Structure 1
Amino acid sequence: MKMTEYQNHLRTYTQPVVVDVWAPWCMPCRVTRPILKRLAQEYQGRVALWEVNAEEHPDLLRELRIYGIPTLIAYRDGQEVSRQLGAKSEAELRSLFQHLAEGKTPPRLQPLERLLRIMIALVLVGLVWFGVGGWPLLVLAGLIFFSAVYDRCPIWKAVTSWVRDVTAKRSTGRTP
């Protein structure tokens, strides 16, 4: 499948779509696939599940910037609204499908993940405060903290939205 086919198919689809990028040899994929199929049946008519075999479509993966599997990409109205890497629990996957079915944007980070990242950043800042590390550790703390809050930052949303628009226009041959 070529990127243009993929994008055209997304644009014509009326319901939200979860794209599961997997491979037959991937153990985490084998764990999540039955859950995804069950949820696709449960949310049939409200959320669609598309499966992309990574071995059969390496060019598409490169264009979608997928560097690990399993990767789930959620789309609404042809626009990416969520991307998740790695195996997820049934509760997390159900939450993704539920948010899409209700027309809501799925949360990018689970509350516990967000809290854990903030706590790690604070510990690193504390280490610098007590003289254990220098500025590189402080930079790392800042990056970890930003990874906990980036999805709520309006500047980050504006910049990434602009980059996504420019990239989409270039990939379809239109100039920005």
Structure 2
Amino acid sequence: MDKKAFLDKLERNPLPVVVDFWAPWCGPCKMVKPILEKLAKEYAGRVDFWQINADQNPGLLHELGISGIPTLIIYRDGKERSRSVGAKPASALKALFETLASGGDPAPVGISAGERIIRFGAGIVLAGWGWASDINIILLALGGLVMFSAIYDRCPIWRALTSQFKKLTDQN
């Protein structure tokens, strides 16, 4: 399936759509598949659930900018509303389907505490290395960016800027 056919199919769908990009060899995909299929049955008629095999549709994944699986993309009215990569717990997936079924848009999926710690720690190491090597500005900046990637979703300035940017891009 190419991107145009995929988006055309989405635009014709009156329901919110959860699209799971997966592969048969993917361990995390195998973990969430039964949970997603159960939720798809439970919310049938209120939320559509599509599964797209990454191995059979590499062009579509490339066109949609998907670089890791499992990836869940949430669409409403033919537009992407949310995207998350990696296996999620059953409770988070249930909350996602419930939110969509009740007409709401899902909140962006946050970063786990462990991932925050790893990102922040890696940023400190890079910044420290930049500082120790006669203030290497590139390593200092890279360390700062990696540290920011650990907390960006909690930064009110970042949220305000991205929401304004999204409004501008949606108008065009």
Q: TM-score range by the shorter chain?
A: 0.7 to 0.9
How far did residue 42 of structure 1 move?
Answer: 1.9
Q: Secondary structure at the match of 1:65?
A: coil
Q: Which moved more, 1:93-102 or 1:114-123?
A: 114-123
Q: Which residue of structure 2 lines up, in the alignment, with residue 105 of structure 1?
A: 106
Q: Which residue of structure 2 lines up, in the alignment, with residue 8 of structure 1?
A: 8
TM-score normalised by structure 1 residue count: 0.74
| Percent pairwise identity | 40
How far did residue 60 of structure 1 move?
Answer: 1.0
- Tell me the matched-pair count: 165
1:2-46 superposed Cα distances (whole Å, 9 cap, x missing partner) = 211111111111111110001111121111111110111222222
How far did residue 146 of structure 1 move?
Answer: 3.5
Residue from 141, 152, 157 that aligns with 1:149: 152
Equivalent residues of 1:32, 1:88 under 8 A apart = yes
User: 2:60 corresponds to which letter in structure 1?
Assistant: L
Q: Which moved more, 1:145-154 or 1:16-25?
A: 145-154
Q: Which residue of structure 1 lines up, in the alignment, with residue 87 of structure 2?
A: 87
Structure 2 gap segments, 5+ residues each: none
User: 1:105 corresponds to which letter in structure 2?
Assistant: P
Q: Secondary structure at the match of 1:19?
A: strand
RMSD: 3.1
Structure 1 gap segments, 5+ residues each: 167-175
Sort the Cα spacing of 1:125 and 1:161 in 2 relative to 1 into closer, same or farther, 3 A: farther
Q: Does 1:28 find its partner at 2:34?
A: no
Q: Secondary structure at the match of 2:69?
A: coil
Equivalent residues of 2:127, 2:139 under 8 A apart = no
Map 1:19-168; keep pairs closer than 5 Å.
19-102=19-102, 103-110=104-111, 112=113, 116=117, 120=121, 123=124, 127=128, 132=132, 134=135, 135-147=137-149, 148-150=151-153, 153-159=159-165
Equivalent residues of 1:114, 1:149 under 8 A apart = no
How far did residue 123 of structure 1 move?
Answer: 5.0
Sort the Cα spacing of 1:136 and 1:94 in 2 relative to 1 into closer, same or farther, 3 A: farther
Equivalent residues of 2:16, 2:76 under 8 A apart = yes
